[in-house]
Amino acid sequence: MRRSCFIGFFGVLLGFLLVAGALSIMPSRQVPLPPVSVPVPTPTAPSQHQAHLIRPPRPAAPNIAVSGGTLAVAPAEAPADECARVEEAIDGEYALTFFNARDRAAFEAMASRYGIRIIDRLAVANALRITAPDADALRALLKAAPMPLTFLPNIHVRLPPLPEGPAATAPDVPYTGFGNGALAWLGVPDPASDWGRGIRVAVLDTGIPSAFPGRVGYRVDLTGTGFGQAQHGGAVASLISGLQGMVPGAELLDIKVLTDGGSGDAFTLARGIIEAVDRGARLINISAGTRGDSPVLRAAVAYAIERKVMLVAATGNDGRPGVLYPSGYGGVVAVGGVDAAGRHLYFSNTGPAVDLSAPGIGVAVPAAQDGGVASFSGTSAAAPFVTAAAA
C-alpha cells in the first residue's frame, strides 16, 4: 500500500525528494530566486524546515500479466472518474491491442479496404493506432477482422499545468521557493563531474534545446514536429544533469513525445517508453501525464519494468485526490511536490499512489531565450530530482 504526500530526503546514494510543473520565465539573472508567493489553503507547518527520509511500506509488486505475448500492468489505484478517458479522447483516433502478432497483422492488412488509416504500430504491445473518420466503415472492419483485445480512443497527454480558480483566492500564505538551493535543501553536496557516469537517463518531454550543456547521447522526435527550443524539456534536463542536476556525468536520451506546446498522446508516450528501454536507458523521467488509463501505455510500462528500467513520473497539478497516468501505474515512482519549508503544495495531486515528494516551487533553471534564470514550479519539477537521485 503506497502512502501519499511524504517528504523524502535524498543525498548522493539516499536521495529522493522532488517537484515539477509549470515554467515561468523571470527576467532576472540573479540566483537564488526570491520567495514565491502562492496562496495556500490551510497550510500545516512542518516540525523542522528540512528534508526527512521517510521510508514508506514497500509497495506490492506490480501485477504484470503475459497473455498471448501482450504485457499488462494493473493501475496502482482505480481511476477516480471513469469519464476521464472520454474527456481525454482524441476525436476519430483509436488505440487497439491484439491477442498476438498474427491477429494484429491480419487486422492491419484489411484496414485499407475499409478506408481505415494506420498511424502507428507497436509490435511489443501488439498494438495499432488508427484513425477512422467513418464510424460505419470501422464497425464493418471490426466485424470482419480479428477481434482486438482492447479497442479504446487514443487519449491526450499533456504537461501538468498549475491550477487556476478557487485556490487562487485562498488566504495569502506564501510558499517558500527553492531558487538555486534545492540540492543543498536535499542534503546533496556539490555534485562531482563524474556522478552518474555510465548511466543513461531518458527524458520523455518536449525535447531538450540544442544549447543544453549536458551530455545528450541520443535524440529522436516521435511527434513529427521537429526540435525547437521548448523550455520545459530543457528545464527538466537541467534538474538531472544541468544547473541543479545531481548527475552531471549521466548520458541523457532526448526522446521528444510532446510538441513544443506540451501536447501529445498516450500511444506516442508508450512508443517513447519502449524506445528508451531499447536504447539502453536505466531510468526514464516523465514530467507529463493523462487522466485517462490507456492499455497501450500500461503495456509499455510493463515492458520497462520487466527489463528492470525505473520509471519516475509527475503526479500532476490538479490539486485533487488521484494522480495522472503513468504515475498511477504499479511500479512507477509517483512524485508530488513540497516547498522549501517542507509544506505540501496545494496543487500537487494526492492519493495512495504517491510515493515521494520533492522540491516543486520556485526552482531555478536556465532560461532558454537569454541565458538567464527561470523559475520552474510543479510536480514536473519534482520528478527529475528523484530521477537524478536514483541514477
232 an active-site residue? yes
CB 86 within 8 A of CB 121: no
Catalytic residue among 238, 327, 375, 380: 380
Q: Would strands 363-366 and 356-359 be described as parallel, antiparallel, or unpaired?
A: unpaired
Cell triple for residue 145? 477482422
Instruction: Please report the pLDDT score of residue 37 as a whole number.
Output: 40
Selecting among 205, 254, 260, 339, the annotated active-site residue is 205
pLDDT of residue 239: 97
pLDDT at position 229: 80
Domains of the chain: 22-61+159-390 (3.40.50.200), 83-156 (3.30.70.80)
Mark whether 380 is an active-site residue: yes
Q: Are 18 and 188 within 8 A, CB to CB?
A: no
d(CA 391, CA 386): 9
- The whole-number pLDDT of residue 172 equals 63
Please state, in angstroms and rounded to a whole number, the distance separating the CA atoms of residues 175 and 165: 18
In sequence order, the β-bridge partners of residue 121 are 128
pLDDT at 242: 86
Looking at 5-156, list the stretches that DSSP marks H as alpha helix, in order from N- to C-terminal side: 84-87, 101-111, 135-144
The residues facing 333 across adjacent strands are 312
Instruction: Annotate 84-117 with b (16+ C-beta within 10 A) or e (fewer).
Output: bbeebbbeebbbbbbbeeebbbebbeebeebebe
The active-site residue, picked from 232, 241, 254, 265, is 232
Q: How far apart are CA 239 and CA 164, in angstroms?
A: 26
Question: What is the pLDDT, as a whole number, of residue 134?
Answer: 87
* Helix/strand/coil for 46: coil
Q: How does pLDDT run along the chain (391 residues), one tens digit per residue?
A: 443 333 333 333 233 333 333 333 333 333 344 444 444 333 333 333 333 322 233 333 333 332 233 333 445 544 444 577 788 999 999 999 999 999 999 999 999 999 999 999 999 999 999 999 888 999 999 999 999 999 999 999 999 988 665 444 343 678 999 999 999 999 999 888 899 999 999 999 999 998 898 899 999 999 999 998 889 999 999 999 988 899 999 999 999 999 999 999 999 999 999 999 999 999 999 999 999 999 999 999 999 999 999 999 999 999 999 999 999 999 999 999 999 999 999 999 999 999 999 999 999 998 866 678 899 999 999 999 999 999 9
- CA distance linking residue 289 with residue 202, whole number of Å: 16
Residues 250-266: b if buried by 16+ CB within 10 A, e if exposed: bbbbbbbbbbbebebbb
CB 184 within 8 Å of CB 207: no
Quick check: is 241 catalytic? no
Identify the pLDDT of residue 73. Answer: 43
Q: What are the φ/ψ torsions at residue 218 (nearest 5 degrees)?
A: -155, 140
Looking at residue 164, its pLDDT comes to: 61
301 contact partners, CB below 8 Å, separation of at least 6:
73, 273, 311, 326, 329, 331, 332
Question: What pLDDT is attached to residue 163?
Answer: 64
